Amino acid sequence: FADALLMVMRAAGYTDKDVVGNCSVSSASVYNAPAYAACAFKKALEKGLPVKGDAARPITRSEVAKLVSALNLVGAPKNIDVLDPYVDLQGVDATEKVAIAGVIESGVMIGQVKAIGSTFEPSGDLTRASLAVILDKLFAKEEAAAPK
């Protein structure tokens, strides 16, 4: 979780000065944040980002979608119906659904798309390779939006 949080925050424009180092933050220690990620956890908590649980555990696909959404790296979805093909979102709350719809609509994350019964696997662990693809798509979006 800690590494993914750092990388997504960097994609949102936070600098190493903002998110790297040992900030000696007692609240970050509650999350078992490693020393190198204490500043990221402090900043995330200050900003009200969806950070919970043990920082040493894997991050889920839904948690990444919520971070990407909370950091405004994708816009709000124009149409929540983009979730209709996904059959595994029954236990997902409304805020989570909006975040997932935003990343799907923007093309940053899509899940396993099938003709019938697509899945997003919201509680599935996100691999480092998947995070790299997501970050690449976020940077490509930013590059495409930059004035030329």
Q: Is the pTM higher than 0.85?
A: yes
The per-residue pLDDT for range 30-77, each reduced to its tens digit, is: 678 787 788 888 888 888 888 887 888 999 999 999 999 999 999 999
The packing angle between helices 61-70 and 128-145, to 10°, is: 20
The per-residue pLDDT for range 86-140, each reduced to its tens digit, is: 999 999 999 999 999 999 999 999 999 888 899 999 999 999 999 999 999 999 8
CA dihedral 97, 101, 103, 106 (to 10 degrees): -170
